[in-house]
Amino acid sequence: MHQPPLKWQETTIDGPRTRRWSLDAKQCAELAAHHIAWLGIDVVHAPYNRVRLAPTGSFFLATLEGEGRVWLEGRWERVTAGSLCLAPPRGLNAFHAVPGKRWKFAWLRYEEAPWGRPLVGANSPLRLKQGAEEFARAIAGLQTEWEGERDAAFVRHWLSLVHGFACRLARPWRRGTRVGALWETVARDLTQDWKLTTLATACSLSAEHLRRVCRRELGRSPMEHVTYIRIQRAQDLLESTDEKLEAIAPRVGYRSAIVFSRAFVRCVGMTPSQYRAQLEGAMVSRWIRFRPRAGGLGMNRGQR
Using one digit for the tens of pLDDT, what is the confidence trace for 29-48? 899 889 999 999 999 999 99
Residues 128 and 60: their CA atoms lie apart, in Å, by 11
What is this structure's pTM?
Answer: 0.70
**Do 252 and 234 meet the contact criterion of CB atoms below 8 Å apart?**
yes
Beta partners for 103?
44, 66
Mean pLDDT of the chain: 86
Q: Where does the pLDDT of residue 292 fall: very low under 50, low under 70, confident under 90, or very high at 90 and above? A: very low
- pLDDT of residue 2 exceeding 70, the answer is no
Q: Which helix (H) or strand (E) holds 226?
A: helix 222-240
Return left, alpha or beta for 233; rule: phi > 0 is left, psi -120 to 50 is alpha, else beta.
Answer: alpha
Report, as an integer, the average pLDDT of 97-122.
Answer: 90
HSE-up of 140 (CA within 13 Å, CB side)? 12
Cα–Cα distances (Å) from 177 to 39, 173, 183, 204, in that order, read: 33, 8, 10, 11
HSE-up of 264 (CA within 13 Å, CB side)? 28
Range with the lowest mean pLDDT among 105-119, 173-187, 217-231, 276-290?
A: 276-290
- pLDDT of residue 177 exceeding 60, the answer is yes
Segment 68-99, tens digit of pLDDT:
999 987 789 999 999 999 998 888 899 999 99
Range with the lowest mean pLDDT among 135-139, 174-178, 187-191, 282-286?
A: 282-286
- pLDDT of residue 187 exceeding 80, the answer is yes
**Do 220 and 228 meet the contact criterion of CB atoms below 8 Å apart?**
yes
- pLDDT of residue 297 exceeding 50, the answer is no
Domains of the chain (ranges, CATH numbers) = 11-169 (2.60.120.280), 178-269 (1.10.10.60)
Return left, alpha or beta for 104; rule: phi > 0 is left, psi -120 to 50 is alpha, else beta.
Answer: beta
State what percent of residues in the chain have pLDDT above 90: 59
- pLDDT of residue 257 exceeding 70, the answer is yes
3-state helix, strand, coil in the chain (%, to 5): 40, 20, 40
Segment 198-211, tens digit of pLDDT:
999 999 999 999 99
Q: Which residue has the higher pLDDT, 226 or 2?
A: 226
Who contacts 143 (Cβ-Cβ below 8 Å, separation ≥6)?
A: 21, 23, 41
- pLDDT of residue 282 exceeding 70, the answer is no
